Structure 1
Amino acid sequence: MTLAEAYARFNSGEVIPPNDPAFSVVFPIVGETLRLIGKLNASGDIGEARQILSQILDQEVHESTTVFPPFTTNFGRFTTIGKNVFINHGCSFLDLGGITIEDNVLIGPQVKLVTENHPLDPATRKGLITKPIVIKQNAWIGAGATILPGVTIGENSVVAAGAVVSKDVPDNTVVGGIPAKFLKHID
């Protein structure tokens, strides 16, 4: 199984059991990701942190993008990051379901992007259900917010600090709370 096939499997909408062949493709990469995360978080240089993040994602992170350590991800290869993105301290990305961050996005400290969930049924609970997260251009994710699987944050939208977002956020809106609810439109 290739990495592309594993990605398709994780995004099938089905429960992926722990013995699924897709896991045998991602587990060796997880080990390398953990090693590189250690290097990234030990770095005191923004440019070096960006270069290490590029290795984790297996794609070039544009020089206009900044990530402040510490930063964690469990995999990395299913995340894409646009230009002029700012990722503040202490963010955590669980990306087996896929994370897309478009241009000009601001991500506050301690934000969690979680594309992975487990079934409720105890018999299959060790399996994974994954859904992608998309953060559209010019969005701002406030400090300590959590974005859950399958959510799209619309263009120019703002997620208030501490919010837990379980549903799509339309363009040009502000949401907040637990669960996040519409607060106002942005003109």
Structure 2
Amino acid sequence: MIPSTHLPSGSPGLVGFRERVEQAIRVTEHLNTLPYDDQDAIQAAWSELTGQPVDPTFRLIPPVYSDHGVNIRLGRNVFVNQGCRFNDTGGIELGDDVMLGPNVSLITSGHPVAPSERRNGITHAPIRIGRNVWIGASATILQGVTIGDDAVIGAGAVVAHDIPAATLAVGVPARVIRTLT
């Protein structure tokens, strides 16, 4: 598990934060109007959101949501089902052949837990998802988590700790229930 970083309000790390959020909202609003059959336009909008070219094997079913977009890195042959949320302030990396089920949430940021600090900045840490990972419908992956290659995350799971490669993790909080062969 990667420890989170705390950015207090007014810190240099938050300069341009609002503008990046507003740009991501504009781009995802446009992307969400595109039909699934127009993958070229979806890929172009995704490239605009992330600021980088997208592999032609990338597939996405709108709608999708992101708070920045510029902190998302995708491998080849990634599939994103409808309703997924990329809260990418801390950075999100998806390896080759990753599949995200409907309504998956990748949440890389939050707020300090202490009541006196909660409204004074954000915490964030990257999410790293290895090659050939399948994340089931409505699963939530939290900041600082790494999921190893070939793992499966069950539908509805909440992943707050690293998941080893080639394992099946389910539940709230997610726990490994078996090794995959």
Q: Normalising by the residue count of structure 2, what TM-score does the alignment of the two structures yield?
A: 0.94
1:38-117 equivalent positions in 2, closer than 5 A: 38-44=29-35, 45-117=38-110
| Aligned 8 A contact 2:4 2:143 in 1 | no
Query: What secondary structure does 1:30 align onto?
Result: helix
When residues 57 and 170 of structure 1 are mapped into structure 2, their CA distance, relative to the original with a 3 A threshold, is same
Mapped to 2, the partners of 1:101 and 1:80 lie a distance apart of 6
Counterpart code for 2:157: A
- 2:133 is aligned to 139
The structure with more strand, counted as a fraction of residues: 2
Q: Tell me by how many angstroms 1:28 deviates.
A: 1.5
**How many aligned residue pairs are there?**
177
- 2:16 is aligned to 25
The structure with more helix, counted as a fraction of residues: 1
Q: Tell me by how many angstroms 1:67 deviates.
A: 1.1
When residues 180 and 12 of structure 1 are mapped into structure 2, their CA distance, relative to the original with a 3 A threshold, is closer
Mapped to 1, the partners of 2:20 and 2:123 lie a distance apart of 19
Q: Normalising by the residue count of structure 1, what TM-score does the alignment of the two structures yield?
A: 0.91
Match of 2:144 among 150, 159, 178: 150
Q: What RMSD over aligned residues (CA atoms) do the two structures have, in Å? A: 1.4
Identity %: 37
Match of 1:34 among 4, 21, 25: 25
Counterpart code for 1:22: G
